[in-house]
Amino acid sequence: MCGIVGGVAERNISEILIEGLKRLEYRGYDSAGLALINEQQVLRERRVGKVVNLEDAVRTQNLSGNLGIAHTRWATHGKPSEVNAHPHISGKVAIVHNGIIENYAEIKAELEALGYQFSSQTDTEVVAHLIAEALKTQATLFDAVQQIVPRLKGAFALGVIHADYPDELIAVRENSPLVIGVGIGEHFIGSDQLALLPITNRFIYLEEGDIARLTRTNVEIFAHGTNRIERPIKELDAAVSHASKGEYKHFMLKEIYEQPEALQQTISQALNGNRLRDDFLSHAEQDFSNIDQIQIIACGTSYHAGMIAKYWSEQLIDLPCQVEIASEFRYRSPVIMNRTLYLCISQSGETADSLAALRDTQKRAKAKDLNITTMAICNVATSSMVRETDYHLLTLAGPEIGVASTKAFTTQLAALILLILKIGTAKQRLDEAEIDCIVKGLWHCPKVLSETLQHNQEILRLSELFVEKQHCLFLGRGTLYPIALEGALKLKEISYIHAEGYAAGELKHGPLALVDNDMPVVILAPQDSMLDKLKSNMEEVQARGGELFIFADENSGIVEKDRQHVVKIPHISAWLAPIVYSIPVQLLSYHVAVLRGTDVDQPRNLAKSVTVE
């Protein structure tokens, strides 16, 4: 997804902007550009492809400036090309933009009638021309931006500079993330704080509707674009600031291996010995005791985590739980239910559909005077989702850079089971023995994850058998059904092999028709009450010539035979099996992708944080 970096300083900031863009590369993009103000001129460079192409151009031409904006673009309107890359310029104005201007066509027609010529197919260019036009009547650059922002419909973040304002950077946040980095005698903007971490750990988080005017020495913020407001400066701790691949070939592999530690961190915040800590979500206890049901809203991998929580909520604490994809939920006018916990799950906390679903729910509950509770399970403490919900529970996975979610997912699962235990306790639906059993299992889980990771070489060998395949099926039952979906998602997104996840019981209702000699079928077989039924499903596949790749509990009795490969997974209680069985499907997808030579950390067409619809 697009990335913005900008700054105003006493020193030359071209290198800082390029470094910032590099730190946003993981989000996925197709072109990059930068504009600097130098001696009352706008200097601009744009390149298709990687940031390093832009860096070479900037170095060769020795471009420098104390004021500048830079951008990585992920095409929405207009194909990836140099003319469509940002910054866009109109006269002395240069802008970068994340998000979408929904009414750009109408504004474009109006501007064309006024004689403006468009050099790109983007929605962004209208904003540059609108500002240039407003400057004909407005006294300052800030006034011009303030005047045109209410005309723009959609979700957007903007960075604006002007050749005649050498000490001024204007920033706009409207439903697309943007932070201000506070340096010493210098200020920066970034669509993700990660871009600015080499220069500062002090941030101001803009709110929706804010317009900010940054100079070297000052920041002025205007809520809703008009009312001067002070927003606090927050200091990040140093641990957040580290993001490097270290000894690993890819971020994804590093993040897969970080899971035991990430899980340990996530559960430690909630547990004291074999009990929940007294202060764990204690401020939410009253609200939790009053809920009659849970509605989970999420996208992609986070949605799969939500699907597993449904099993836990209904089986462990007898609490109804619905799960829905945010992009559907937000548009189908769902009935907003009283006494309900609306739970958003998101790694980034900035996913456009999940945020829109949350905000819409809050608005509609308020209009009907309903008593709802909102909560986020999220990996980014400073995200919009965390700030806008009543309660939150952080997954302490650390920054996840690989586009494919791995450690964020397993820590979401840990957070979800802890939340279910907490709600069950608040509603007095769990006794000490039940809690004790699950908590013991949770403490044991990091060790089991580490042992499972030791099967890496075995899984690598199996992955060689997938390289030439076109299709693949993943099957599981109960809480392993969402892991089958997750395995299929992982494989398709990073190796580009078409994969489907199914509840194994559905096999006969259609997908069995796909099974032949050439169809690998991955089976998730923990030691649970459904194991015998799953074994029958495996026989159905074998009878049709399908090749089985089984991740099976070491005590399951499932053994290797012709066209049946088995990786033995250490025993884990059925409740926690989905956490452990995530590991082999992640490793399998990773190795298949590496063998196929795809861009594992930045798969084609995908972005890490989907901040537009």
Q: Is 175 left (phi over 0), alpha (psi -120 to 50) or beta?
A: left
Q: What is the 3-state secondary structure (H, E, C) of 553-584?
A: ECCCCCCCECCEEEEEECCCCHHHHHHHHHHH
For residues 51 and 18, give the distance between their C-alpha atoms in angstroms, rounded to a whole number: 7
Task: Output helix, strand, coil percentages for the chain, rounded to the nearest 5.
Answer: 40, 25, 35
DSSP helix/strand/coil, 35: strand
CB of 483 or CB of 610, closer to ligand F6R: 610
DSSP helix/strand/coil, 360: helix
CB of 355 or CB of 531, closer to ligand F6R: 355
Active site residue 608: yes
CB of 161 or CB of 592, closer to ligand F6R: 592
Question: Residue 549 Cβ, how far from ligand F6R at the closest point, in Å?
Answer: 20
Packed helices 104-113 and 125-134: angle between N→C axes, nearest 10 degrees: 50
CB of 178 or CB of 548, closer to ligand F6R: 178
For residues 161 and 173, give the distance between their C-alpha atoms in angstroms, rounded to a whole number: 15
Angle at 14 between CA 12 and CA 16, to 5 degrees: 95
Binding residues vs ligand F6R (CB under 6 A):
299-302, 346-348, 351, 354, 404-405, 489, 493, 609-610
Which two three-digit tokens encode residue 208? 């929706």
Yes or no: say if 228 and 8 are a contact pair by the CB < 8 Å rule: no
For residues 540 and 527, give the distance between their C-alpha atoms in angstroms, rounded to a whole number: 20
Active site residue 136: no
Question: Residue 463 Cβ, how far from ligand F6R at the closest point, in Å?
Answer: 18
Question: Residue 385 Cβ, how far from ligand F6R at the closest point, in Å?
Answer: 8
For residues 176 and 384, give the distance between their C-alpha atoms in angstroms, rounded to a whole number: 9
Question: Residue 436 Cβ, how far from ligand F6R at the closest point, in Å?
Answer: 31
The residues near 69 (Cβ < 8 Å, ≥ 6 apart) are 4, 5, 6, 17, 34, 35, 87, 94, 95, 96, 159, 160, 161, 169, 189
For residues 16 and 59, give the distance between their C-alpha atoms in angstroms, rounded to a whole number: 13
Q: How many CA atoms lie within 13 A of 298 on its CB side?
A: 29
User: Per the residue annotation, which of 2, 299, 344, 445 is the catalytic one?
Assistant: 2
Closest-by-Cβ residue to ligand F6R is 300
Question: Residue 582 Cβ, how far from ligand F6R at the closest point, in Å?
Answer: 11
Question: Residue 543 Cβ, how far from ligand F6R at the closest point, in Å?
Answer: 33
CB of 287 or CB of 400, closer to ligand F6R: 400
For residues 493 and 499, give the distance between their C-alpha atoms in angstroms, rounded to a whole number: 9
CB of 193 or CB of 354, closer to ligand F6R: 354
CB of 182 or CB of 592, closer to ligand F6R: 592
Nearest to 257 by CA among 440, 483, 410, 413: 410
Question: Residue 409 Cβ, how far from ligand F6R at the closest point, in Å?
Answer: 7
Question: Residue 405 Cβ, how far from ligand F6R at the closest point, in Å?
Answer: 3
For residues 506 and 475, give the distance between their C-alpha atoms in angstroms, rounded to a whole number: 9
Question: What is the widest separation between alpha-carbon atoms in the chain?
Answer: 80
Question: Residue 561 Cβ, how far from ligand F6R at the closest point, in Å?
Answer: 33
Phi, psi of 553 (to 5 degrees): -55, 140
Q: Amino acid identity of 188?
A: F
Q: Enumerate helices (H) and strands (E) in the chain, giving the number of each.
A: 18, 27
DSSP helix/strand/coil, 268: helix
CB of 8 or CB of 345, closer to ligand F6R: 345
- CA dihedral sign of residues 269, 274, 278, 281: positive
Question: Residue 306 Cβ, how far from ligand F6R at the closest point, in Å?
Answer: 10
For residues 192 and 27, give the distance between their C-alpha atoms in angstroms, rounded to a whole number: 10
DSSP 293: E
CB of 42 or CB of 489, closer to ligand F6R: 489
Yes or no: say if 502 and 473 are a contact pair by the CB < 8 Å rule: yes
The catalytic site residues sit at 2, 608
